Structure 1
């Protein structure tokens, strides 16, 4: 934001000292500048070994292992743009379906999309893993924001990838259903959604059938993506999950952990 302000002030000074008309940054250009300049957001470097160990493959856009996430990104963004959606929830029927790994890779793939920025929020308040998988220092996290000990700008992290920001959660939150259904979380979601028009906000939610957390927060989020683990989730678990999800807001279902040829990761 500071970079945007500087650009605008410079344009104003030029306008006052020059009779020629000056071109001000458009909203899209301003958003792009803001996405690439992190003055108030902590910037940290990621460790390639840790990413590889945790199956985070979309960080390197030149990797031949990220094509599946690029394909998923294109499909998801198309549906979201058609409906005017900017917030996406990701959940699974049960644990160990790989939803968090998929959420991270999808957010990174969206960040590589030059017209979008991606914000990944760890809303799995019972078992937060986003910050751990990325190896982020979490001296300030969503826990502090919810507890009133930090402001939003204090808890956001840029993992040294342009147009990608993470809001991590350090430790489990007690009474998570009540927290997710609170007005404070509702206001936070609305703020994250409306702050930048070009931003896609992804919320990593808990497994759908393990608690009522997802049902509590889902009405506040535009749409949802269901991650199903091949060979792990039963037909009944999938059917029960689809029963709880609003069909009109279901972007789709991802079959995860499938062995594929040509080095495809998912």
Structure 2
């Protein structure tokens, strides 16, 4: 009798391959040396009147498809399965410090795929039944999240930080994708880093958490080595997801960028633009085969 073939080897996720490629250890301690900073006491957010319900805005699914991104309600694909793995690891790592239900998505340099990953990860997380996902456009110099999703621009985070009369909840755009909302960047300011580092920023983020206890916030940040806002935002989140472009990001730049994010204890790497040699079936092919049967 022939023996049964060995079970197939589990395919590493893009997060795990990034760790192997760049020699980092996953989770806590990715930055070189140094002790964890002591957070300032959190300001108590005052009670505010409830915001009237806003009609959901439709996501431009055609635009997402044209850009090679996840399409809500679309067929399961290789890309969808990759981001399922990514979100599982992010959800498993929540609570490591800072705001447990908040993730900063960034990269070392521009054009390394951070907005692509932030939007796709938000769409994947919105499919979860237990979370309300808020995607925050925090790339204030080049805000691209509303345009990517086909949503209208409007007042956002910077407006509420600069003007106490602006209610942050009223700036949030609900979408026709269940469990997904978007907070625009708002009016550009020359003091964006200082506004993010202020106690008002901490109080406003406290208020966002208190308004929706199951709200999971993702911040699409400016590149770390191109703008200082990412470093300021890192002090407000529970973990950082650093997008690493496989064919472009150098190890020295990556280590320099991670060192600037020392306000957050947990940094994970997401390998983007990976060229894979075909070795049998990949993610998504299982579902395709089922549909063809």
Please tell me the TM-score bracket, short chain as reference.
0.7 to 0.9
* Runs (5+) with no aligned partner, structure 2: 1-50, 285-293
Q: 1:94 and 1:264 mapped to 2: Cα distance?
A: 29
The size of the alignment, in residue pairs, is: 228
1:253/1:102 Cα in 2 relative to 1: closer, same or farther (>3 Å)? Answer: same
One of 137, 152, 164 as aligned partner of 2:152 = 137
Choose from 190, 195, 205 the match for 1:189: 205
Shift of 1:62: 3.4
Structure 1 counterpart of 2:115: 100
Q: Which residue of 1 aligns with 2:100?
A: 85
Q: 2:65 aligns with which of 44, 52, 57?
A: 52
Name the structure 2 match of 1:17. Answer: none
1:153 to 169, 191, 201: 169
Task: Describe the SS at the equivalent of 1:102.
Answer: helix
Correspondence list, 1:1-266, <5 A: 40-57=53-70, 59-60=72-73, 62-64=75-77, 65-80=79-94, 85-148=100-163, 150-170=166-186, 172-246=188-262, 249-260=265-276, 261=278
| 8 A Cα contact 1:89 1:218, kept in partner | yes
Deviation (angstroms), 1:81: 5.0
Determine which structure has the larger helix proportion and give its number. 1
Q: Which runs of 5+ in 1 are unaligned?
A: 1-37
Q: Using the alignment, how far apart are the partners of 2:262 and 2:147 within structure 1?
A: 31
d(CA) in 2 for partners of 1:40 and 1:46? 18
* Distance apart, 1:250 and its partner CA: 2.1
TM-score in terms of structure 2 length:
0.70
The DSSP-based 3-state class of the residue aligned with 2:235 is helix
Q: Is the 8 A contact 1:44 1:158 kept in 2?
A: yes
Judge which range, 256-265 or 137-146, deviates more: 256-265
Tell me the C-alpha RMSD between the 2 structures: 2.5
TM-score, normalising length from structure 1? Answer: 0.76
Deviates more, 1:235-244 or 1:85-94: 235-244
Contact 1:189 1:221 in 2 (8 A): no
Aligned partner of residue 105 in structure 2, secondary structure: strand
| Larger RCO, structures 1/2 (Cα 8 Å, 6+ apart) | 2
